[in-house]
Structure 1
Amino acid sequence: MYKPRVLLAAAALILLLVLIVSHASSDAHIREQLRVKQQHADELSDYVQQLAVEATSFTDESLPTPAQLCTNNTLTLAIVVPFRRRDEHLQVFLPWMRRHLLTEHAVRTQEWSKGKADPLKKPICRFAKFVVVEQADNLPFNRNWLLNIGARYAHETYAADVVALHDVDTLPMDGVSYLTVPPLPLQLSAELDRIGFIPASPHHTGGVNLLQYAQLVSVNGFSNELDDSAEGKNFFKRLQSVGWLHNAKVMNRPPVGEGRFFTLSSRFHNTHSKTIYDDSGLVKSIKGWFSNPLEDVVGPMQADGLSNARSNLKELVEVSEDTVLLRVVPQ
């Protein structure tokens, strides 16, 4: 006869094996669910890409710039787009954005004619340019650096008071406003189709941001050194450090329903982000992020950002009357 201890040990071993197999099966099931969801999201984005191409193929005329949209002031908007090897996206982005800006302007004009102007919303009356900044090398894609270069160029060349810092694969739906001066830096793309139009995590600042150029200067823009897995968090802390957040723990966003965007097909994502490793091989931007005090950001902020973003301009292309393309490489 088996001793009780032997039986108990055997039973425990069998139970452990069952749990391991069950856990592995559960993990496999979860992975399969995630794979199917991602496949569905990709298929939807492919479909949206096709619809967007068809919708914009009829209205591809550039805007006369600078476009004078009202006479209340001379506040000027430029839309800055970091770019590399996304031609399929750019071909949709430009006509889509032209249509969106003209539609927003028409709706606003109609509201004003009916005496419905909101006195708390300061209008932007001029549109300068789409400033597309292309990284013209094969180094890892550095979105932050391109945004710094593009925003500074837009301000110095076109006197842009307000800049929309805009991913090329992210397109606004009706209700998103670009033609109102944000009192605080604003993440416009708060609700994305890929996550069910649910507001993004509190610290997320990627996608599309609208802010006054002076506000960007006050935080020295974006870090030129961090990879894109941490760039948003760093920008959030920069805004937090100088009091540009209405709620210090959450990124400023438009009211629910006014920050809805859809994203174009990821099949055209050919960029590779900048990643920096320390001596131990860990990603510098991630290690210790959540334990780093705010003052750890404020110091480097003054030495790393808009003020020291350097580039060599390889080519300047007037794509159309309303669009300029800067091909740049690091200096």
Structure 2
Amino acid sequence: MRHVSKKKAVCFGLVAGSLILFLRPNNMPRQNYEYIKKESILESLKVAQGFNFSSTALANCDYYDVVNDDTSLMVGDLDGDLEEGHKIKEGGEYAPLECKPKYSTAIIVPYRDRAEHLRGFLVHMHTFLRRQHIHYRIYVVEQVDTHPFNRAKLLNVGAKAAMNAGYPCLILHDVDLLPLKLANIYACTSLPRHMSSNTYKLRFMLPYHNQLGGVIAILSEDYKAINGMSNKYYGTSGDNDDLFFRVEANNLKMCRFDPTVSMYHILSSDGSVEIKPLKEEPGIFKDLMWKDGLNTLEYTEVATVLHPLFTHIMIDT
């Protein structure tokens, strides 16, 4: 993985994008889909701690103030915040010491050749997640071969590692998406959740109802039940639609939070975002679900390195 040399440029872009939200109040999320209201978020979350996690804290963490925090996380001079007293363990794992967290979450990031985005992502996410009082770990799964990028397969690899480590909740996370609202708690609901339904580059509109991409929270047991994601999407879109139909085929449906909570900043550099649904029939995905996924996952692990801010899994696909 290349070292990052343009950190200031990334931070400037994050600040500029965040300011748009405050200076243009008319750019509010469009409520064009069903969602869980803000006052019902806490009751919708499933309490689940990691199998290998323990805490010596006497009191449970309280999430009422987090869910009712209406502030947006501004991105600026955050490096110093991570350099001292951050209590992040090697491999990018964190848990609050002052209280016992109710939620254990693995954030899985598919990655290749986007070092600037990764740096901005890690700084932002650790600052954001530590304020939510959850137990979490960030996995970055990098494709190091020269084949076309296979996002879904990398997510399967990360999910497998996280489930083996005992994490009950998986969050499948693109590296160029940054959450803005602290109330968007990084924990799983009983149903799979599309977390990034509102992004400013999409004018806070959901492109189409079946969209299940960007950032998705799903219980480990449900990810196993749908056989993960397809391993066959090299250099092409369609893996998100495949995931949606796998979820639907298992009668899991999906949910979203209040659009005022599900707000994200996109780090994409080309200034354009185009998302189109696949035209294939759902039955095609259902037929392939048990022929392609976690049960057919094959790859070569090149190395796994525990960095200060993340667990880095490098593979040949």
1:142 maps onto 2:135 in alignment? no
Q: Is the 8 A contact 2:227 2:289 kept in 1?
A: yes
Give 2:294's aligned residue. 306
Partner of 1:296: 284
Decide which structure has greater helix share: 1
Report the equivalent of 1:178.
Answer: 185
Q: Distance in 1 between matches of 2:188 and 2:15?
A: 33
Q: What fraction of aligned residue pairs are identical, expressed as a percent? A: 27
SS in 1 for 2:81: coil
Measured after TM superposition, the shift of residue 264 of structure 1 is 0.9
How many pairs does the alignment contain? Answer: 240
* Structure 1 position 48 matched with structure 2 position 51: no
TM-score, length of structure 1 as denominator length: 0.66
Shift of 1:205: 1.1
Which structure 2 residue ranges, 5 or more long, are not aligned?
A: 1-8, 17-73
- Which of the numbers 234, 238, 247 marks the counterpart of 2:242? 234
The letter for the 2-side match of 1:126 is: H
Q: Deviation of residue 176 (structure 1)?
A: 4.6
> Are residues 1:169 and 2:176 paired?
yes
Aligned residue type for 2:279: F
Partner of 2:121: 93
- Residue 214 of structure 1 aligns with which residue? 221
Q: Quick one: distance in 2 between partners of 1:160 and 1:241?
A: 24
**Letter of the structure 2 residue corresponding to residue 96 of structure 1:** H
Tell me, yes or no, if the aligned pair for 2:242 and 2:285 is still in contact at 8 Å.
Answer: yes
Q: SS in structure 2 opposite 1:302?
A: coil
With the length of structure 2 as denominator, give the TM-score of the two structures.
0.69
Q: Which has the larger radius of gyration?
A: 1
Confirm whether residue 126 of structure 1 aligns to residue 154 of structure 2: no
SS at 1:163 equivalent: strand
Matched, 1:261 2:261: no
Residue type of the alignment partner of 1:131: Y
Q: Is it true that 1:224 corresponds to 2:234 in the alignment?
A: no
Match of 2:100 among 71, 75, 79: 71
**Tell me, what secondary structure is at the counterpart of 1:317?**
strand
Moved over 4 A (4+): 44-47, 50-53
Judged with a 3 Å threshold, the aligned counterparts in structure 2 of structure 1 residues 45 and 92 are, in CA distance, closer, same or farther, namely closer
1:57 is matched with which residue: 79, 82, 101?
A: 79
Deviations 1:130-177 (CA, angstroms, capped at 9, x unpaired): 110000011100000000000111110x21100111111100002452
Q: Which runs of no fewer than 5 residues in structure 1 stay unpaired?
A: 1-43, 106-124, 246-250, 270-285
Correspondence for 1:323: 310
Deviation of residue 53 (structure 1)?
7.0
Instruction: Give 1:275's aligned residue.
Output: none
**Counterpart-to-counterpart distance in 1, 2:183 and 2:230:** 27
Q: State how far apart, in whole Å, the 1-side matches of 2:123 and 2:189 are.
A: 24
Deviations 1:277-319 (A, max 9, x none): xxxxxxxxx9xx5352x33322210010122111111111111
Deviations along 1:259-279, one digit per CA (max 9) or x if unpaired, are: 10011142699xxxxxxxxxx
Q: State the one-letter code of the partner of 2:293.
A: G
Change (3 A) 1:145 1:268: farther
